[in-house]
Amino acid sequence: MALEHALLVSLTERASSGYDLARRFDKSIGFFWNATHQQIYRVLKRMDEQGWVNAETVPQEGRPDKKVYTVSDAGRAELVRWIAEPADLEPMRNELGVKLRAAALGDVPALIAEVKRHRDQHAHRLDLYRAFEKKDYPAPDRLTGPKLHQYLVLRGGIRVEEGFVDWCDEVLDALKRDTARSQASEPKGSRQ
């Protein structure tokens, strides 16, 4: 997926300036697709040049004029084309997983602390997603159209975070058991 497609999706939900889009992006699609504010502005300019968005200049009092972007017919056609295109399976990139593979070569207590840190971050994100779900989607069985689609993406995020927290708990239990076994099997004179 190109950043262009993520921005087009966001702009179909609400016309926005680059600044407003970047702020909204951080609180929604940004959980699933990373982009800096500078990248968003560069891509908006490119999308404007391609005719995928329309930009309307809006005067502001005491500040420079801002551009508000909407999706053009060409941008909607690009979204239709992109949605129909098969999506490749993305390879999972997980630095923590690679570190676990090498655990025997390093400082296992430091690795345990790192797994705990990741677990806490994912648990925090899970709590955030569940709060969004409770606040924004109190009756999910009644949802249709764009609200249903947004809810389904949020549910995907919840499931991913639940899985990651469970995996971290499994890793922590296994590393603690392994450490205890290793210490129990060491000759008494070798422990200090």
pLDDT bracket for residue 116 (50, 70, 90): very high
Burial category of 21 from C-beta neighbours within 10 Å (exposed 0-12, middle 13-18, buried 19 and up): buried
pLDDT bracket for residue 80 (50, 70, 90): very high
- pLDDT of 106 > 70? The answer is yes
Neighbours of 172 (CB within 10 A): 14
Amino acid 45: pLDDT: 94
Q: What is the pLDDT of residues 83-104, one digit of tens each?
A: 999 988 877 778 899 999 888 8
Average pLDDT over residues 46-63: 94
**H or E stretch covering 17:** strand 16-17
Q: What percent of the chain has pLDDT over 90?
A: 63
Amino acid 165: pLDDT: 97
How far is Cα 67 from Cα 18, in angstroms, rounded to an integer? 7
pTM of this structure = 0.77
How far is Cα 161 from Cα 132, in angstroms, rounded to an integer? 14
Average pLDDT over residues 172-189: 83
Helix residue ranges per DSSP H, the chain: 3-13, 18-27, 37-50, 73-84, 95-101, 108-136, 145-185
**H or E stretch covering 16:** strand 16-17
Q: What is the pLDDT of residues 126-168, one digit of tens each?
A: 999 999 999 999 999 999 999 999 999 999 999 999 999 999 9
Domain 3-84 class? mainly alpha
Amino acid 189: pLDDT: 60
Average pLDDT, the chain: 90
Least confident of 6-20, 36-50, 178-192: 178-192
Amino acid 22: pLDDT: 86
- Do 138 and 106 contact (CB within 8 A), yes or no? no
Amino acid 188: pLDDT: 67
